[in-house]
Amino acid sequence: MAQEDIFKKLVAHCKEYGYVFQSSEIYDGLGAVYDYGQNGVELKNNIKKYWWDSMVLLHENVVGIDSAIFMHPTIWKASGHVDAFNDPLIDNKDSKKRYRADVLIEEQLAKYEEKMDKEVAKAQKRFGDAFDEKQFRETNPRVLANQEKWNALHARFSDALNASDLAELKQIIEDEGIVCPISGSRNWTDVRQFNLMFSTDMGSTADGALKIYLRPETAQGIFVNYLNVQKTGRMKLPFGIAQIGKAFRNEIVARQFIFRMREFEQMEMQFFVKPGTELDWFDKWKETRINWHRALGFGDENYRFHVHEKLAHYANAAVDVEYKFPFGFKEVEGIHSRTDFDLSQHQKYSGKKIQYFDPELGESYVPYVVETSIGVDRMFLQVVAASYCEEEVESNGKKDTRVVMKLPPVLAPVKLAVMPLVKKDGLPEKAREIIDDLKFDFNCQYDEKDSIGKRYRRQDAIGTPFCVTVDHQTLEDQTVTIRFRDTMEQERVAIAELKNMIADQVSFKKLFAKLK
Ligand code: GAP
What are 33-77's pLDDT values in tens digits?
Answer: 999 999 999 999 999 999 999 999 999 999 999 999 999 999 999
Nearest-angstrom CA–CA distance, 381 and 361: 46
457 marked as part of a ligand binding site: no
With helix as H, strand as E and coil as C, how does 39-74 read?
HHHHHHHHHHHHHHHHHHHCCCCEEECCCCCECCCH
Q: Which of 453, 326, 461, 454 is nearest to 390 (CA)?
A: 461
Span of 83-87, 244-248, 293-297, 429-433 with lowest mean pLDDT: 83-87
Q: Using an 8 Å Cβ cutoff, are 501 and 493 in contact?
A: yes
- Of all atoms in ligand 1, which is nearest to the CA of residue 260? 24
Candidates 170, 182, 34; CA nearest to 96 is: 182
Q: What mean pLDDT do residues 148-161 have?
A: 94
Within 10 angstroms of residue 364's Cβ, the number of other Cβ atoms is 10
Instruction: Specify the CATH number of the domain 414-515.
Output: 3.40.50.800
Average pLDDT of the chain, as a whole number: 95
Q: How confident is the model at residue 179 (pLDDT cuts 50, 70, 90)?
A: very high
Nearest atom (ligand 1) to Cα of 320: 14
How many angstroms is it from 311 CA to the middle of ligand 1? 15
> In angstroms, rounded to a whole number, what is the distance separating the alpha carbons of residues 430 and 403?
29
Which atom of ligand 1 is nearest to 249's Cα? 23
Cβ of 377 below 6 Å from ligand 1 = yes
With a CB cutoff of 8 Å and minimum separation 6, the contacts of 34 are: 20, 21, 22, 23, 257, 258, 261, 377
For the chain, the helix, strand and coil percentages under 3-state DSSP, each to the nearest 5: 40, 25, 30
Span from the CA of 219 to the centroid of ligand 1 (angstroms): 11
* Residue 187 pLDDT grade (very low, low, confident, very high; cuts 50, 70, 90): very high
Residue 374 in contact with ligand 1 by CB distance below 6 A: yes
pLDDT recorded at residue 388: 97
pLDDT of residue 396: 77
Q: Is 278 in the pocket of ligand 1 (CB under 6 A)?
A: no
The annotation status of 332 as a binding-site residue, yes or no, is: yes
Q: Would you say the CB of residue 176 lies under 6 angstroms from ligand 1?
A: no
pLDDT of residue 423 exceeding 70, the answer is yes
Check: CB of residue 434 under 8 Å from CB of residue 480: yes
pLDDT at 205: 63
Distance 77 CA to ligand 1 centre (A): 20
Q: What is the pLDDT of residues 106-122, one digit of tens each?
A: 999 999 999 999 999 99
Q: Say which DSSP state 213 is in.
A: E
DSSP string for residues in 200-246 = EEESSSTTT-EEEEB-S-SHHHHHTTHHHHHHHTT--SSEEEEEEEE
Q: What is the pLDDT of residue 166?
A: 95
Q: Is 268 annotated as a binding residue?
A: yes
Nearest Cα residue to atom 5 of ligand 1:
334
SS (HEC) of 468-493: EEECHHHHHHCEEEEEECCCCCEEEE
Ligand 1 atom at minimal distance to the Cα of residue 218: 1
SS3 214: strand
Position 100 scores a pLDDT of: 92
C-alpha pair distances (Å), 428 with each of 104, 443, 446, 458: 57, 18, 9, 19
Residue nearest to atom 17 of ligand 1 (CA): 375
Neighbour tally for 403: CB within 10 Å? 16
Q: Which fold would CATH assign to domain 3-85+196-384? A: BirA Bifunctional Protein; domain 2 (3.30.930)
- Dihedral angle computed from the Cα positions of residues 300, 301, 307 and 313, in that order, rounded to the nearest 10 degrees: -60
Q: Give the model's pLDDT for residue 311.
A: 81
Question: Would the pLDDT of 19 be above 70?
Answer: yes
**SS3 (DSSP) at 216:** coil
d(CA 265, CA 362): 40
Indicate the SS3 state at residue 230: helix
Q: Is the CB of 333 under 6 A from ligand 1?
A: yes
> Is the confidence at residue 206, as pLDDT, over 70?
no
What percent of the chain stands above pLDDT 90?
90
Q: Would the CB of 268 count as within 6 Å of ligand 1?
A: yes
Ligand 1 atom nearest residue 336's Cα: 2
35 annotated as belonging to a binding site for a ligand: no
**pLDDT tens-place string over residues 345-402:** 999 999 999 999 999 999 999 999 999 999 999 999 999 999 999 999 887 788 889 9
Per-residue DSSP letter, 56: I
> Which protein residue's CA is at the shortest distance from atom 19 of ligand 1?
375
Pairing of strands 466-470, 416-420: parallel
pLDDT confidence of residue 209 = 79
Residue-range domain boundaries for the chain: 3-85+196-384, 90-181, 414-515
> Which residues contact residue 111 at a Cβ distance below 8 angstroms, ignoring those fewer than 6 apart?
none
Q: DSSP 3-state assignment of 31?
A: coil
Query: Does residue 143 have a known ligand-binding role?
Result: no
For ligand 1, atom 25, the nearest C-alpha belongs to: 260
Rounded Cα distance between 157 and 168, Å, is 8
Strand residue runs (E) in 44-123: 62-64, 86-91, 98-100
Average pLDDT score over residue span 293-301: 97
Any atom of ligand 1 within 6 Å of the Cβ of 222: no
Q: Is 278 annotated as a binding residue?
A: no
Is 463 touching ligand 1 by the criterion CB < 6 Å? no
Q: What is the mean pLDDT of residues 120-135?
A: 91
The pLDDT of residue 492 is above 80 = yes
- DSSP H helices, 269-321, are 278-294
Would the pTM count as exceeding 0.75? Answer: yes
What pLDDT, on the 0 to 100 scale, is given for residue 395?
77
Q: Under a CB-based contact definition with an 8 Å cutoff, are residues 120 and 136 in contact? A: yes
Query: Rounded distance, CA 43 to CA 36, Å?
Result: 9
Kindly provide the b/e burial profile for residues 299-321, where b requires at least 16 CB atoms within 10 angstroms of the residue's own CB: eeebbeeeeeebeeebbebbbbb
Give the DSSP per-residue string, 338-396.
Answer: EETHHHHHHHHHH-----EEETTTTEEEPPEEEEEEEEHHHHHHHHHHHHEEEEEEEET
Nearest residue (by CA) to ligand 1, atom 22, is 260
For residue 213, pLDDT over 90 is answered with: yes
Q: Is the pLDDT of residue 208 over 90?
A: no
